[in-house]
Amino acid sequence: MFTPREKADLIKREAKRSGFLACGIAHAEFLEEEAPRLERWLRDGKHGTMGYMANHFDLRLDPRKLVPGAKSVISLAYNYFTEPKQVDPEAPKLSTYAYGRDYHKVVKQRLKPLVAFIQEQFGDVEFRTFVDSAPLMEKAWAQRSGIGWMGKHTNVIRQGTGSFFFLCEIILDLELEPDAPATDHCGTCRRCIDACPTDAITPYGVDGSKCISYLTIELKDMIPDEFTGRMEGWAFGCDICQQVCPWNRFSTPHSEPEFMPKSELMGLSADDWHGMTEVVFDRLFEGSAVKRTKYAGLKRNVRFLREDP
């Protein structure tokens, strides 16, 4: 029989072999500290038009409601830092995470061998895997499991790594030795706060209704005029708060073939973006997270950028 520590060590070694950047473990329990913060964030309307954020409040705070009998939450990080950049500096910009294939699909596939290993080693285990796909406060679990701390921009930062990674989770009814929670290393730095062009960031909080990622992806209506001239060229998502973070000087390129951007996409000029047809959109972004905003949404974003003074 394996001890909880031996089980945890085996899973972490296998996670590393499976290509994950980091793996940490937390005890499955109610997120007592996060509950009032989430309630206040929702009450203040900082979720904008994302009505789904107000749904399943109890599920977001207790993983045992997602997996009855759950004892552990395994948090994993998967690197997506990409060195290639868009060629034309005047072209509308994509967030780095959207350069390649949709991360939901890729990371879900990378989880399968790890789950198979757990079942092979420990028998009949009840579990569910999550890749940004359920009402789960993944950043809180990443911090509790020692993956990294939630920075002032609310992205999870890992010492020696930075923040360009996806999070995913396995909730299971297996008793595993938990890791120590990550400690905060933002210090007095406020570069992300000062660099945000829409003033969406306050220390350890983001007003989602002002965030460029929200405006270009989640918002289905027209982008409010108050953001004219403040989008900094972003057409899908935004990386500004990560780009200015000192910890990202430690970021290293990923080794995931599915995340490699198409050379045609990276070579698009500003005119190419503004003249993009739906046929070209479908071809360039097949299997991409950009499909989430649809052709009409991307054209809306690009038109809004052209109207910037």
Contact 104, 286 (CB under 8 A): no
User: Cα separations (Å) of 102 from 53, 260, 262?
Assistant: 22, 11, 13
225: annotated active-site residue = no
Q: Rg of the chain over CA atoms, in angstroms?
A: 20
9, 88, 132, 272: the active-site residue: 132
Please, what is the end-to-end C-alpha distance for the chain in angstroms? 67
Q: How many CB atoms lie within 10 A of CB 274?
A: 15
- Residue 137 corresponds to which tokens in the numbers above? 């406060």
Q: How many CB atoms lie within 10 A of CB 109?
A: 12
User: Cα separations (Å) of 172 from 3, 4, 68?
Assistant: 16, 13, 9
- Residues annotated catalytic, as ranges: 132
